[in-house]
């Protein structure tokens, strides 16, 4: 998928109105429509790129998130042509731009059959979950992953036919790549068009199958992929990697790899947005007299001072020690929660000391209640 700026793709400024965005996309869609550029192998990709940009900038919510966070802001919101099964779905999705019947009225409904016969079916996307630690999310990380996917068979070059042989016209659809069922009713004639199940829309079938792929035109392959995970990602965010999914049959286009982010639980840290919460167990003397601790943070060991007279559940905040915000260099806070630890069992000496302490002026419940100002 393209990482180019969506405004740059459509050739409009960031202040462009919805009508200007729509008008620019319409011109690009007409310019790069594959039916108008049968000899240009880049036309379909340019058309998809423009459709991706329009799908985001034409939606007020997606556009606002894109303006604020860039491409990462529209991940998981349906932005991009990877949400469609194939390019025909893009034509259907945006047909309202051209009014009435959409692209079919402009190009004579030739797209479905021509595209199917020439390129085969699009390969499926592969979705995987990638678990990340709090530390990896805080600073970003490079990951190397291994996946199993289907690629075009090198022996038959993705045709499915035995080397030295060719395909023949499909007898089910007579080479059309689609099946038309006509029904009549009191309301008129209806035509239902479906992809041919025998040739999967290619219009041709294999007479002698390739021995490597058994006519499927694809073979299994274990791939190694390097992924750059930015800092600040969240649970269920996804990172798309184009052309790393399964290959389509009959030399069809390759699907995408969709990496879903999964946050692992940490034994010490708890994520709270861009902040990190750390619970520090302290004793009664620590709060009364003050104390100093060395704790683990995202940046390693750090000494923390507890002021005398601190209260249970008080917090100490370390600025710029939390998680680096997505698409930014700013960091959240590292928040230390003071949790009062009360022992369940004490020995006789400790009990005597506590009883003696409870009789002192600042530790007597009676004296404390007398000093407290109450409304009633």
- Taking only the tens place, the pLDDT of each residue in 161-187 is 988 788 889 899 998 888 888 877 666
Q: Are 124 and 216 contacting, i.e. CB atoms less than 8 angstroms apart?
A: no
DSSP state of 89: H
List the Cα angle 89/95/98 in 5-degree steps.
150
In terms of pLDDT, which residue wins out, 149 or 178?
149
Rounded to the nearest angstrom, the gap between the alpha carbon of residue 301 and the centroid of all alpha carbons in its chain is 33
- Residue ending a domain, choose from 109, 141, 174: 109
Please report the DSSP string for 24-84 in residue order.
Answer: HHHHHHHHH-TTT-TT-TTHHHHHHHHHHHHHHHTSHHHHHHHHHHGGGGGTTTT-SGGGS
Residue 375 lies in a domain: no
Residues 204 and 218 in one domain: yes
- Residue ending a domain, choose from 52, 84, 109: 109
pLDDT at 245 over 70: yes
pLDDT at 116 over 60: no
In terms of pLDDT, which residue wins out, 335 or 167?
335
Q: What are phi and psi for residue 280, nearest 5 degrees?
A: -110, 115
Closest CA to 293 of 338, 249, 333: 338
Confidence of residue 101 (pLDDT cuts 50, 70, 90): very low
Closest CA to 151 of 70, 72, 212: 212
Q: Is 160 exposed, middle or buried (0-12, 13-18, 19+ CB in 10 A)?
A: buried
Residue 83 lies in a domain: yes
Please give the residue range of the domain that contains residue 345: 269-367
Confidence of residue 198 (pLDDT cuts 50, 70, 90): confident
Q: What pLDDT is stored for residue 1 in this prediction?
A: 47
Report pTM.
0.59
Report, as an integer, the average pLDDT of 248-274. Answer: 92
Domains: count for the chain: 3
Partners of 227 in beta bridges: 143
Specify the CATH number for the domain of residue 203: 2.60.260.20
Residues in the chain: 376
Residues 133 and 229 in one domain: yes
Residues 255 and 141 in one domain: yes
Residues 179 and 66 in one domain: no
Containing H/E element for 157?
A: none
Residues 248 and 129 in one domain: yes
Q: What pLDDT is stored for residue 369 in this prediction?
A: 61
In terms of pLDDT, which residue wins out, 183 or 325?
325
Report, as an integer, the average pLDDT of 215-242. Answer: 93
- Residue ending a domain, choose from 234, 263, 292: 263
Judged by average pLDDT, the poorest of 1-5, 15-19, 256-260, 281-285 is 1-5
Q: What are phi and psi for residue 220, nearest 5 degrees?
A: -65, 150
Residues 162 and 238 in one domain: yes
Residues 24 and 154 in one domain: no
The two three-digit tokens of residue 234, written as one number:
């969240």
Q: What pLDDT is stored for residue 95 in this prediction?
A: 46
pLDDT at 236 over 60: yes
pLDDT at 312 over 90: yes
Choose the most confident range, by mean pLDDT, from 92-96, 237-241, 363-367. Answer: 237-241
Residue 104 lies in a domain: yes
Other beta carbons less than 10 A from residue 343's beta carbon: 9
% of residues, the chain, pLDDT over 90: 46
The two three-digit tokens of residue 342, written as one number:
């009360």
Report, as an integer, the average pLDDT of 189-211. Answer: 83
Place of tokens 């209640």: 369
């Amino acid at each position: 998928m393209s990482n180019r700026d969506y405004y740059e793709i459509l050739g409009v400024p960031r202040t462009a109105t919805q009508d200007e965005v729509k008008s620019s996309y319409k011109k690009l869609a007409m310019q790069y429509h594959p039916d108008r550029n049968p000899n240009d192998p880049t036309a379909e990709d340019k058309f998809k790129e423009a459709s991706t940009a329009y799908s985001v900038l034409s939606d007020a919510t997606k556009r606002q998130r894109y303006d604020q966070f860039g491409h990462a802001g529209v991940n998981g919101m349906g932005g991009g042509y990877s949400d469609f099964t194939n390019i025909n779905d893009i034509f259907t999705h945006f047909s309202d731009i051209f009014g009435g019947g959409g692209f079919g009225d402009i190009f004579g409904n030739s797209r479905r059959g021509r595209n199917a016969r020439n390129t085969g079916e699009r390969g499926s996307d592969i979705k995987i979950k990638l678990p990340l630690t709090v530390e990896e999310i805080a600073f970003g990380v490079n990951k190397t992953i291994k996946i199993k996917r289907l690629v075009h068979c090198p022996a038959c070059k993705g045709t499915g036919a035995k080397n030295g042989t060719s395909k023949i016209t499909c007898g089910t659809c007579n080479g059309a790549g689609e099946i038309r069922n006509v029904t009549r009713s009191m309301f008129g004639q209806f035509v239902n068009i479906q992809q041919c199940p025998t040739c999967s829309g290619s219009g041709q079938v294999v007479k002698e199958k390739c021995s490597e792929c058994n006519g499927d035109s694809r073979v299994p392959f274990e791939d190694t992929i390097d992924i750059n995970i930015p800092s600040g990602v969240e649970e269920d965010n996804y990172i798309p990697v184009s052309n790393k999914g399964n290959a389509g049959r009959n030399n069809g286009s390759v699907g995408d790899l969709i990496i879903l982010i999964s946050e692992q639980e940490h034994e010490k840290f708890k994520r709270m947005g861009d902040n990190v919460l750390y619970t520090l167990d302290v004793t009664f003397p620590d709060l009364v007299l003050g104390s100093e601790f060395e704790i683990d943070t995202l940046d390693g060991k750090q000494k923390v001072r507890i002021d005398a007279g601190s209260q249970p559940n008080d917090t100490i905040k370390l600025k710029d020690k939390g998680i680096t915000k997505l698409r930014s260099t700013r960091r959240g806070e590292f928040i230390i929660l003071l949790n009062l630890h009360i022992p369940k069992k004490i020995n006789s000496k400790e009990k005597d000391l506590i009883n003696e302490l409870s009789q002192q002026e600042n530790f007597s419940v009676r004296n404390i209640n007398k000093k407290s100002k109450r409304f009633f």
